[in-house]
Amino acid sequence: MFDGTQAPGARMTLSVAALLLAAGDALAARLGAVAVRGEISGFSRAASGHCYLTLKDSDGAAAVLRCAMFRRAAALLDFEPRDGLQVELRGRIGLYEPRGELQLVVEAMRRLGAGNLYEEFLRLRDRLQAQGLFDAARKRPLPAWPRRVAVVTSPAAAAWHDVMTALRRRAPQVEVVLVGSPVQGADAPPALAAALQRAGQLDGVDAVLLVRGGGSLEDLWAFNDERVVRAIAACARPVICGVGHESDLTLADLAADLRAPTPTAAAELAAPERGEALRQLQQRQAALLRAARRRLERHAQALDGQALRLGPAAAALAAQQERLRGLAGRLRLAGQALLARQGPELQRRAQRLDHGQRQPLALAAARLASQGQRLRALDPRHVLQRGFVWVEDAGGRPVLSVRALQPQDVVRAVWADGAARARIETIEAVDTIESIATTEADAASRGIGRGEPPA
């Protein structure tokens, strides 16, 4: 045994008994309940009622297995075992520690013959296994917290009562739905396959339990039927198979997502115990509260540390704020005094600036008005209002000289109050106009007005 004095990393040394116990536990965990066939050799029945025998390989291989059958199991035999008899044994494999030998603890024994069901079982198992129906990769995990489970079994079977009792005791919050079917006889395989299909299609079902009590190989043969095995593999929900006792093994067990040794164990595997779940929740709640308190304490300590570090900075900030308030007051007083001293001068400068701006503006306005008057004097409309006439030719061009006209030309004369078209009859040159003007001047000097005949 490891005494705790070996150096870390050293290999642990076991006693013989501990090694055999560990090996036996490993075999039991790895193989569990097994079924084996062979030929009886060296059979003996002790005074206590226990039976001991050696099982030889029936195919002629040089292999033997020590077997022990205790009185309780031996009392159920319906035949007398003898050497040379071909039998099928079911039980648990382990190690017999006093001799360090591999041993099978037999829980059931039955005779074998030509064309027996067990041979058919093996052939069908090998064929379905080759097709992958028993592969571990296709096994589906069970829901951790199912709300509704379907149970496929006979309503009159003791397995139904066992499942209901276990679930009411362990998980009363789980809803149980019975999908009835015969579990023994010629009608059982198709009925079981149809029941599995219906159970997998029920709304809200999280898992399906396929259960039946113990019996002989013939009694359990419906669970070795290929139709039932394929229905388990095709079921839309995970299937837990609890058929027979722990030593019973059917093809339905191999195809199911999880095998249970008994119907009661199937119910226990389907749903976790409510009390244990509540205890786990309470433990997690307490752990969360402790973690929250620790975190709050760490943050409170961190805040206290930050407050201590901010204390001197806050004092310095208050001093600076007080200094700024003093400077602001001084600045306000200095500004008021400066305004009081500079106010009259600023007012004078503002008046001078205002006067200097108004005078150039007045001069500019006068010049603008004079130029406007000149422009208005040059406006042709004002000229026309003084009695002048604007003359245009037929193309709308101004007639600037009498030489641009010919007799019979049509001109347009424009006055201030309208316009008229005229035809040129005669053209008088400048000398003719000057002689007329001289004649009018002479007449005026003699007191004769224009248009008046001379005296």
pTM of the model: 0.44
Domain boundary, last residue among 251, 271, 291: 271
Average of per-residue pLDDT across 406-434: 79
Q: How many angstroms separate the CA atoms of 93 and 90, rounded?
A: 9
Average of per-residue pLDDT across 72-79: 88
pLDDT band at 157; cut points 50, 70, 90 = confident
Q: What is the 3-state secondary structure (H, E, C) of the chain?
A: CCCCCCCCCCCCCCCHHHHHHHHHHHHHHHHCEEEEEEEEEEEEECCCCCEEEEEECCCCCCCEEEEEECHHHHCCCCCCCCCCCEEEEEEEEEEECCCCEEEEEEEEEEECCCCCHHHHHHHHHHHHHHCCCCCHHHCCCCCCCCCEEEEEECCCCHHHHHHHHHHHHHCCCCEEEEEECCCCCCCHHHHHHHHHHHHHHCCCCCEEEEEECCCCCCCCHHHHCHHHHHHHHHCCCCEEEEECCCCCCCHHHHHCCEECCCHHHHHHHHCCCHHHHHHHHHHHHHHHHHHHHHHHHHHHHHHHHHHHHHHHHHHHHHHHHHHHHHHHHHHHHHHHHHHHHHHHHHHHHHHHHHHHHHHHHHHHHHHHHHHHHHHHHCCHHHHHHCCCCEEECCCCCECCCHHHCCCCCEEEEEECCEEEEEECCCCCCHHHHHHHHHHHHHHHHCCCCCCCCCC
Looking at the fold, whether 229 and 164 belong to one and the same domain comes out as yes
Average of per-residue pLDDT across 399-407: 81
pLDDT band at 195; cut points 50, 70, 90 = very high
Looking at the fold, whether 28 and 79 belong to one and the same domain comes out as yes
Percentage of the chain surpassing pLDDT 90? 32
Looking at the fold, whether 153 and 240 belong to one and the same domain comes out as yes
Percentage of the chain surpassing pLDDT 70? 89
Q: How many angstroms separate the CA atoms of 110 and 55, rounded?
A: 13
Residue 432, pLDDT score = 53
* Mean model confidence pLDDT for the chain: 83
Higher pLDDT pick, 171 / 358: 171
Structural domain contains residue 209: yes
Residue 437, pLDDT score = 53
pLDDT band at 345; cut points 50, 70, 90 = confident
Structural domain contains residue 325: no
Q: By CB neighbour count within 10 A (0-12 exposed, 13-18 middle, 19+ buried), where does 443 fall?
A: middle
Residue 118, pLDDT score = 66
Average of per-residue pLDDT across 241-249: 84
On the question of pLDDT at 23 being above 60, the answer is yes
Looking at the fold, whether 390 and 359 belong to one and the same domain comes out as no
Express each pLDDT in 38-74 by its tens digit. 888 889 999 999 999 999 887 767 788 899 999 999 9
Structural domain contains residue 298: no
Looking at the fold, whether 46 and 27 belong to one and the same domain comes out as yes
248, 268 Cβ separation under 8 angstroms:
no
Average of per-residue pLDDT across 252-257: 94
Domain boundary, last residue among 58, 88, 113: 113
Looking at the fold, whether 93 and 154 belong to one and the same domain comes out as no
Residue numbers of the domain that contains 90: 16-113
* Helical axes 263-270 vs 158-170, angle rounded to 10°: 30
Structural domain contains residue 128: no
Looking at the fold, whether 392 and 372 belong to one and the same domain comes out as no
Higher pLDDT pick, 147 / 381: 147
Looking at the fold, whether 351 and 394 belong to one and the same domain comes out as no
Higher pLDDT pick, 93 / 438: 93
pLDDT band at 10; cut points 50, 70, 90 = low
Express each pLDDT in 256-308 by its tens digit. 999 999 999 999 999 888 777 778 888 888 889 999 988 998 888 888 888 78
Residue 299, pLDDT score = 87
Backbone φ and ψ of 17, nearest 5°: -65, -40
Looking at the fold, whether 153 and 259 belong to one and the same domain comes out as yes
Looking at the fold, whether 85 and 26 belong to one and the same domain comes out as yes
Tally of domains in the chain: 4
On the question of pLDDT at 215 being above 50, the answer is yes
On the question of pLDDT at 191 being above 80, the answer is yes
Structural domain contains residue 176: yes
Structural domain contains residue 3: no
Looking at the fold, whether 159 and 221 belong to one and the same domain comes out as yes
Average of per-residue pLDDT across 18-45: 82
Express each pLDDT in 106-142 by its tens digit. 999 988 754 356 678 888 999 999 999 999 999 999 9
pLDDT band at 411; cut points 50, 70, 90 = confident
Looking at the fold, whether 103 and 39 belong to one and the same domain comes out as yes
pLDDT band at 311; cut points 50, 70, 90 = confident
Structural domain contains residue 229: yes
